[in-house]
């Protein structure tokens, strides 16, 4: 196949140098955003992450990796705080 071409976002964010934070801090940052895909929600964005992780845990109690994926699945949205479009 052809070689992969690095996207500008990969060059800009690949080094993770915008801001150092824990996963929990990133989840808290989600609460500062109004998600354009669901602007009328009355609860914090982090609540969605916890709901997703808990739903997966109930459905798949033996797949702890999947619980984590559910918790972290929207963390990329914090890039809006660094100038990326939604």
74 is in an annotated binding site: yes
Distances (CA, A) of 17 to 1, 20, 73: 31, 7, 20
pLDDT band of 6, cuts 50, 70, 90? low
Is pLDDT at 7 greater than 90 in this prediction?
Answer: no
67 is in an annotated binding site: no
48 is in an annotated binding site: yes
> Model's pTM, two decimal places?
0.73
Q: How far apart are CA 73 and CA 31, in angstroms?
A: 15
Q: Each residue of 18-57: pLDDT tens digit?
A: 778 899 999 999 898 877 777 677 888 899 999 999 999 9
Query: What is the domain partition of the chain in residue ranges?
Result: 19-82
């Amino acid at each position: 196949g052809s070689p992969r071409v690095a996207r500008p976002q990969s060059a800009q964010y690949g080094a993770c140098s915008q801001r150092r934070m824990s996963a929990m801090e990133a989840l808290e940052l989600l609460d500062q955003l109004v998600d354009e895909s669901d602007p009328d929600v009355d609860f914090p964005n982090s609540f969605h992450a916890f709901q997703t992780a808990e739903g997966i845990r109930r459905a798949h109690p033996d797949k702890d990796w999947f619980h984590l994926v559910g918790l972290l699945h929207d963390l990329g949205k914090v890039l809006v705080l660094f100038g990326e479009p939604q």
